[in-house]
Amino acid sequence: MVVVVGAVGLGLVLRKRQRVAAPTQPSRAVPAQLDRADFAPTTEWLVVVFSSATCDTCAAVARKAEVLRSESVGVIEVEYSAARDLHRKYDIQVVPMVAIADREGVVCAGFAGPVTAEDLWGALADVREKQ
């Protein structure tokens, strides 16, 4: 009986010492910096929507972002099949992805996945207010 209890105790100690590696997770990070030379608008603010033609949610997000366009806010959609090089350069792994960048290309706000129009408006207002 003592041997069995000792073996169980030793097994529990050894089991606690084993570290299980966390499963690999896909990157959903919005880029921290954009090269403004990659994008046509020279406005003070730039809203970039990374998308795919096969994604219905992407089309909805692009329409919502388009409403942000003004004299000081440029909006560009970067569709995967038309601009694979930019998707690779910025390591875009999920779409839709929205990045709001300032004149230097610093991404001040971003969203990975579906986003509401209110969230886009709010994020743009917040970053403009801070500058």
63 in any annotated domain: yes
Q: Are 31 and 90 in contact (CB under 8 A)?
A: yes
1 in any annotated domain: no
pLDDT, residue 25, reads 53
38 in any annotated domain: yes
Query: Which residues in the chain land under pLDDT 70?
Result: 12, 14-28
6 in any annotated domain: no
Q: Is the CA virtual torsion 38, 41, 45, 46 positive or negative?
A: negative
CA distances from 6 to 13, 28, 75, 105, 112 (A): 11, 47, 68, 62, 51
Domain coverage including residue 34: 27-130
87-122 pLDDT per residue, tens: 999 999 999 999 999 999 999 999 999 999 999 999
22 in any annotated domain: no
Could you give the number of structural domains in the chain? 1
CATH number of 105's domain:
3.40.30.10
